[in-house]
Each structure stands twice: as structure tokens, then as C-alpha cells.
Structure 1
């Protein structure tokens, strides 16, 4: 009897349609998060390249921070990850 083990993919499709591997992800000592880096980490988790726990530990993110990136991409796309955009959005909807 053969046991199938879930293996992680070696590459996933990145936020801009490019192949993304672990080597392509942002460095783990990231202090300045730009849109592209946030989107790459979200794409890596969504594609199974990293687990949510691995991403949070690797980048010292809280679960809430990562989920806010993921929710923002789902609701507003990549432009939503801009801090100025979020500030404008929050002000307009308050």
C-alpha cells in the first residue's frame, strides 16, 4: 500500500504572474514592506509554498497583520496594500 504524502510545491505563481520559489521570497529580516513583498508572501502562502505559521515566523508577522494583507488583496487588489490608500479608505468610510 502506497501512502501519499502532501508535498509542497517548489514554485507558485506570484502576484504579477511570475514563477515564485522560496529563493525569490523577501529576506527574513525585512523591515520595510512594500506592496510587492507583501503580495509575494501572500501568494506564497495561498499557493502552499509556505504555511501561514511558517510565513508569520519567518517574517515576524502577527496573524492579524498577515490576514489584513490577505483581506486587503481580496477586497481591493494590490493597490489596497498601500498605506496611503488604506488611510484614505478608512477616512472615507468612517
Structure 2
């Protein structure tokens, strides 16, 4: 069996005991980012399975896009990563207080 040479680990053990491998990551040609795929990618970065640079290059993401996913996930959990929720949460973050 041939194993492709990669940088970094092939698998990591998550804090809850589950094992996450590179096979669990979304396909590199992913064009439609649903909340579950975003969450898996963020988990892979946070656990050290892949680097931020690798994710940006492989998935053709911008640094700002990845940062916004991280910010929304940290503030609102997985629900914040849903496309219909992003508009709602971004509006709440960007709203200025109304003056009396």
C-alpha cells in the first residue's frame, strides 16, 4: 500500500476521545460550504490536524473568510455557521446603538 507523504499528523484524538483523520475533512474541491463542513474544518485546524495556511490554500479560502467562521463559531456555536444565520449574526454585530 502506498501512503502519500503529507506534512503533519494523519489523525488526531479530540478532547472527547473521538479520532479525526484527514479522511474526515471536506473534499478540496468543495464549493458549497454548509455549517457541518465549516465546523469540521475549524475543528481540524483547532486540533492541529491541519494548519490554517493549508486550509486556506487547499480550500481556496481567504484569511478574512476563515476568521469570520472562527469568530461566528466562537460567539454563536455551530448555529452561527449556517448561511441563513450568518446574515442575522453579522447584522447584530454591525448594528450601532440607537440614540434616543
Answer whether contact 2:11 2:49 (CA < 8 A) is retained.
Answer: yes
- Aligned equivalent of 1:71: 71
Q: 1:25 maps to which residue?
A: 25
CA distance in 2, matches of 1:13, 1:37: 17
Say whether residues 1:35 and 2:35 are aligned partners.
Answer: yes
Moved over 3 A (4+): 90-93
Alignment partners' CA distance in 2, 1:71 and 1:78: 11
The 3 A distance-change label for structure 1 pair 33 and 18 is farther
Q: Indicate the residue corresponding to 1:11 in structure 2.
A: 12
* Structure 1 residues 91 and 26: alpha-carbon distance in aligned structure 2, compared to 1, 3 A threshold: same
**Equivalent residue pairs, number:** 87
**Structure 1: stretches of 5+ with no match in the other structure:** 1-6
SS of the residue 1:69 aligns to: helix
Q: What TM-score results when the alignment is normalised by the length of structure 1?
A: 0.79
Deviates more, 1:34-43 or 1:83-92: 83-92
| Structure whose alpha-carbon radius of gyration is higher | 2
Structure 2: gaps (5+ residues): 1-7, 96-100
